Amino acid sequence: MEEARIAFPVGKGQVNRVEDVKTVQQLLNSSSNGTLSVDGIVGIRTQTAITHFQRQIVGMHSPDGIVSPNGPTLRKLNHLHIRRPATSQPSFSSNSGDSVSEELYLNAARELNCEVAAIKAVVMTETALRSAFISPGKPKILYERHYFRRLTQGRYDHSYPEISGERYKQYGSHELQYERLEKAMALDRQAALMSVSWGAFQIMGANYRSAGFNELEDFVSAMKNTNGQVFAFINHIKNTPTLRTALQNKDWSTFAKLYNGKKYAERNYHIKMANNYHSLTSRQ
């Protein structure tokens, strides 16, 4: 595994390039099961996490609160991240099955300290607990044209209204999703891949960093396998503390708002999740 790198120092009063800050936040979360939001902002919690790590792990008597590109804090963060298999990007085998296994559900529940039924309620809402793929290695997706519009500043709205515009009222077939994605990729590959929700958990490509990946293309490759999809879900929830708390408490309105967007109620995501959770637990 390659070491994570930053271009400029991160910490109070430093350059704090957004991508560098996100890298440091991810490493801090990885090193100690932390709950920092990976938002690229050096707030009080991030500053405190840096100084705590320097004092307790690096062994600095007088922590300076700065993570430098070639400094001891980044070296130690990388060392712990590379050694930690649970949060480092795994090797995804090609034969992990076409749906999430009970073992993977149990592992995810342990990592997130929540009920298996709560995770299943999410998957049941997103993909009905059926196969996460439409064919081997080809995950189920939904193409979101309102995301593509936003990411491309609406410059394709008039010339390509089918793939850039308001939120779809009806999405259409699985094949149609890939047709739309391919058209969008021809215009702007990165924006297109970020405008798709992927796999059993329907995680947006735009969330690839919170899902534990430094590169969007690595996230997309991982979606071809259920292990990769579960890995992404665990990290996305861990890196969004309010989302994890909502899942643990079965607060479906809060969870759906954060997971499915502010218009979640129009499609009754919160009600579907609550009903699915009730259905799953009433079988036990």
* pLDDT of 37: 83
Domain contains 97: no
Q: Are residues 169 and 274 in the same domain?
A: yes
Q: Are residues 123 and 56 in the same domain?
A: no
- The domain that holds 18 is classified in CATH as 1.10.101
Instruction: State how far the Cα of 54 lies from the Cα of 239, in Å rounded to an integer.
Output: 21
* pLDDT of 88: 44
What is the domain extent for residue 158?
Answer: 102-282
Q: Are residues 63 and 110 in the same domain?
A: no
* pLDDT of 31: 73
* pLDDT of 81: 72
Nearest to 226 by CA among 139, 127, 135: 139
* pLDDT of 82: 64
* pLDDT of 200: 97
Q: Are residues 65 and 136 in the same domain?
A: no
Q: Are residues 123 and 49 in the same domain?
A: no
Q: Are residues 64 and 142 in the same domain?
A: no
For Cα atoms 209, 213, 219, give the angle at the middle one, nearest 5 degrees: 100
Query: Which portions of the chain are predicted below pLDDT 50?
Result: 84-95
Q: Are residues 30 and 107 in the same domain?
A: no
Nearest to 234 by CA among 203, 273, 263: 203
- CA dihedral (44, 46, 50, 56) in degrees, to 10, reads 80
Q: Are residues 55 and 112 in the same domain?
A: no
Domain contains 212: yes
* pLDDT of 33: 59
Q: Are residues 113 and 186 in the same domain?
A: yes
> What pTM was estimated for this model as a whole?
0.68
